[in-house]
Structure 1
Amino acid sequence: MQALAKDINTTNVSNPTAESELAVIDRFAELALACVHKEYPNIIKHMMVNREQVKTPKQLYPAFYGCFDWHSSVHGHWLLTRIAHQYPDNKHYQSIIASLQQSFSKANIDGELAYFNRVGTGTSFERPYGLAWFLQLITELRQWQSDEAKIWLTTLKPLEDKIVANISAWLPKLAFPIRVGEHSQTAFAFGLMLDWSKTANEQPMQQLLNRTIMRLYGSDVNCPLAYEPSGQDFLSPCIAEADLMRRVMDKKQYRQWLSNFLPDIPTNNDGSWLTVANVVDKSDGKLAHLDGLNLSRSWMLEGIAAGIGKDDKRYGAIMAAANAHKTAGINSVIHDMHYMGSHWLGSFATYLQTQRGLH
């Protein structure tokens, strides 16, 4: 591990060489492989209506019981799928296929669906964060188009349909956006959901999401970026919203919206307008969220820059901030981590490093 960290630190992680990029990808795969079937420690979010519903994580969620909680397990499986799809020559490829095969059995997915249909679970389970990551997993499988992916897509389809139904029923009822820096934030989740709807060519859901996004965010101005981050954020409310809106606007419209929403982005190529976060105790799961904030800010800033284009005078300052956050975020994953970070940060690092949000 120390040798790997030393190797990565001698390169520019914002523009890695082929060798260093492969080492980084190996590291991300190792993190997910180590946790997707690791049942404990675990936090269960589970409403019990009687004593018979007191069960272990694996009994409750037979596919997504690892990686500390349901949503982290889901995006851990996405991480493995993403790496197998994008890096078929990765040295962990066969281990990844075996791990996904173990999770995505029909019996396991039937068990997951049974939990979603359980009396008392309700439609709010893992909404919106875990549900959005599940749809991102489906997006990756659909784009991969390997023989295994096609089989797994068929197996996962009933759970996909259930989750889409839950989201579709919820969106018209959502009167206000959820502007926090943790799991319940709607801007980040809507971005993943929208990307799924486009890949799946699900026009009704895409239209519903577009209407909801414009209704909740279209008139926003002067986002209070100076108040960020909160002490346990892993998502930026302001930056995530800006990254979302480039998905639903053309370039001209988006440039004007961004000027009203974040009017103080500089035009001098200086990235210091957005300060990189620092984690002082990686064993504290909430404080460790800030490593994830650096990663998510970086990919969202890259998305914002793509939305306005290189000829916009703000482009240089946005990309400078993105690169500073990327360096800090990737290094936090390469270095030795506590399980409070390692069970989930690899997914964020993979999303950033493989430019998932841009493609």
Structure 2
Amino acid sequence: MKLTMLRKLILVLTLVTPSLIAKTVNTNVSSSDLTVVNRFAQLALACVHKEYPNIIKHMMTGTEHVKPPKQLYPAFYGCFDWHSSVHGHWLLTRIASQYPETPHYQDIVKHLDISFTKENITGEVAYFSREGTGTSFERPYGLAWFLQLTSELREWNSPEAKQWLTTLLPLEQKIVANVTDWLPKLSFPIRVGEHSQTAFAFGLMLDWSRTAGDVAFENLLTKTITRLYANDVNCPLTYEPSGQDFLSPCIAEADLMRRVYSTENYAKWLSAFLPSIPIDGEASWINVATVVDKSDGKLAHLDGLNLSRAWMLEGIASALPSGDKRVAAINSAAQAHKVAGVDAVINDMHYMGSHWLGSFATYLETQRGL
């Protein structure tokens, strides 16, 4: 198996990184292979039940809505905000399912048991049922990550995972219903580089629909994606990034569309959408971003941009036909972004990055989207 760029990086530090994994458990993992995986797990374990600091974003219609995070959403109150808590739980689920050898396994199970109770999820459903805020809360980013979490539980063959999934199903059903109601009303795509972006969220949601076997939702989402994105051309990649992006509007859209097109049609669509992709194999057509102040939560987003660009570029390359001359340049850019992004997670971080970047690094290094 090819060494990942992360492995190349850590070899310099005399460490060994985990092998690339997809949907199967690693069965030959040495203790040294767990070094970086354990780093990711530690980041999530440190925050999934850490209530403060916290950002609450919702509409209050009365004093009854002025409550601490744990009372508003009792399962996902940690890691600074709801969506980071959700994908922090996904990170733990992903690592436990793929790396059962991790010394954090029992601690992960303990933390998931604390969060995934019937009482807690009943409270979450109640929050999502609130008039006004409930239908739009964390839409679409946090909702997409929640569906990624339940996808992971579906694929993890363990008694605990089956029980946790059963517990989470009422919230999953509520979220899917809310999104199903919203999609036909969405007149335009949301092309920003932060949480509101639809391209990234739609990709995770589409992956969920196929894992869960929800054909009706898959068809609705595919129809929406085609309506909003199929005719796009000449995406202005030179305008990216914005100063606080953690998602690339152009690259995320290209990564999304590989999920709905055949190989041949995708190659043609990509030529019109991103005609600037070179065929010289160089990575410089899309530059790595640098964070100047990691204590600034918005500026720290750029570390996440490097990670998400890396996995999206890998996805784009994987969908192109064999022999496509653009693949070398796409892979070169992916590797450059991967090295920069994972290095930020391995090194000491401010809480403004540590409460969420581990999830992005895990998604990238375990090739979750491929």
**Would you call these one fold, judging by a TM-score over 0.5?**
yes
Residue in 2 that maps onto 1:181: 193
| 2:149 maps to which of 137, 152, 159 | 137
Q: Is 1:44–2:56 an aligned residue pair?
A: yes
Deviation (angstroms), 1:19: 6.1
Residue in 2 that maps onto 1:237: 249
| 2:181 maps to which of 169, 186, 191 | 169
Q: Is 1:256–2:241 an aligned residue pair?
A: no
Residue 50 of structure 1 aligns with an amino acid whose one-letter code is: G
Under a length normalisation based on structure 1, what TM-score does the superposition of the two structures give?
0.95
**1:287 aligned counterpart, secondary structure:** coil
Residue 202 of structure 2 aligns with an amino acid whose one-letter code is: F
For 1:154 and 1:38, locate their aligned partners in 2 and report how far apart those are by CA, in whole Å.
25
Residue in 2 that maps onto 1:223: 235
Deviation (angstroms), 1:182: 0.0
Residue 291 of structure 1 aligns with an amino acid whose one-letter code is: D
**2:284 aligned counterpart, secondary structure:** helix
Residue 329 of structure 2 aligns with an amino acid whose one-letter code is: A
Determine if contact 1:279/1:288 at 8 Å carries over to the other structure.
yes
Q: Structure 1's 144 and 319: CA in aligned 2 closer, same or farther, altered over 3 A?
A: same
Residue in 1 that maps onto 2:211: 199
Pairing 1:1-359 to 2, within 5 Å after superposition: 9-10=13-14, 21-358=33-370
| Structure 1 unaligned blocks of 5 or more | none
For 2:18 and 2:320, locate their aligned partners in 1 and report how far apart those are by CA, in whole Å.
20
Same amino acid, percent of matched pairs:
71
Deviation (angstroms), 1:9: 3.7
Under a length normalisation based on structure 2, what TM-score does the superposition of the two structures give?
0.93
Q: Structure 1's 60 and 151: CA in aligned 2 closer, same or farther, altered over 3 A?
A: same
Determine if contact 2:193/2:248 at 8 Å carries over to the other structure.
yes
Deviation (angstroms), 1:91: 1.0
Deviation (angstroms), 1:47: 1.4
Determine if contact 1:76/1:347 at 8 Å carries over to the other structure.
yes
Tell me the number of residue pairs that the alignment of Structure 1 and Structure 2 aligns. 354
Deviation (angstroms), 1:264: 1.1
Q: Structure 1's 315 and 150: CA in aligned 2 closer, same or farther, altered over 3 A?
A: same
Residue 157 of structure 2 aligns with an amino acid whose one-letter code is: Q
For 2:258 and 2:111, locate their aligned partners in 1 and report how far apart those are by CA, in whole Å.
35
Residue 65 of structure 1 aligns with an amino acid whose one-letter code is: Y
The CA deviation string for residues 301-354 of structure 1, in whole angstroms up to 9 with x for no partner, is 000000104421111100000000000000000000000000000000000000
Residue 213 of structure 1 aligns with an amino acid whose one-letter code is: I
The CA deviation string for residues 181-223 of structure 1, in whole angstroms up to 9 with x for no partner, is 0000000000000000000110000000110001000010000
For 1:8 and 1:111, locate their aligned partners in 2 and report how far apart those are by CA, in whole Å.
47
Deviation (angstroms), 1:45: 1.1
For 1:89 and 1:134, locate their aligned partners in 2 and report how far apart those are by CA, in whole Å.
25
